[in-house]
Homo-oligomer: A and B are copies of this chain.
Amino acid sequence: MQTLILVSHSAKITEGIKELITEMVPDADNTFEVIAAGGTEDGEIGTSPMPIVDGIQNAKGDHVYIFTDMGSAVLSSETAIDFLTDEQKEKVTLLESPIVESAYIAAIQSTIGASHDDLLKAIEEQA
């Protein structure tokens, strides 16, 4: 299983991406999970490292892909990754590609059993 963590400045955007993927990408074999970690901890527009840390710590996936929308979403994710052990860090990939389109592609790639490299390549090519 892959874990897809969504980090946008708007919680609604991450909830929307989660519902879009859940609806549009059939996943009978549970090849991925989607964690919405958008908005600040108090529900405002922005990002916070702690929901991202929580997402990573609770991830069921063998690998964690973090999708970001812009600027401080990347910074918050980097801060979150700093909280991890070296072993945990190895299973996390931070992406700066288009958040909606990339997360959707990653979900599809998970369902077809794509390797880590193939998943990243598909995002790079299509997003």
Query: Which A residues fall within an 8 A CB radius of B?
Result: 8-17, 19-20, 23-24, 38, 45, 69-70, 97-101, 104, 127
Contacts and interface: CB of A to CB of B under 8 A. Distances in A.
Q: State the oligomeric state as a number of copies.
A: 2
Contacts of A97: 98
A16 B11 contact: yes
Given A9-B24, A12-B16, A16-B38, 7 more contacts: A8-B16, A10-B19, A12-B15, A13-B16, A16-B16, A70-B104, A98-B99
What are the 7 A-B residue pairs with the smallest beta carbon separation, nearest first? A98-B98, A12-B16, A13-B16, A10-B16, A23-B45, A10-B20, A12-B12
A9 B18 CA distance: 11
The winner among A16, A99, A100 for most chain B CB atoms within 10 A is A16
A81 B11 CA distance: 31
Contacts of A100: 8, 13, 69-70, 98-100
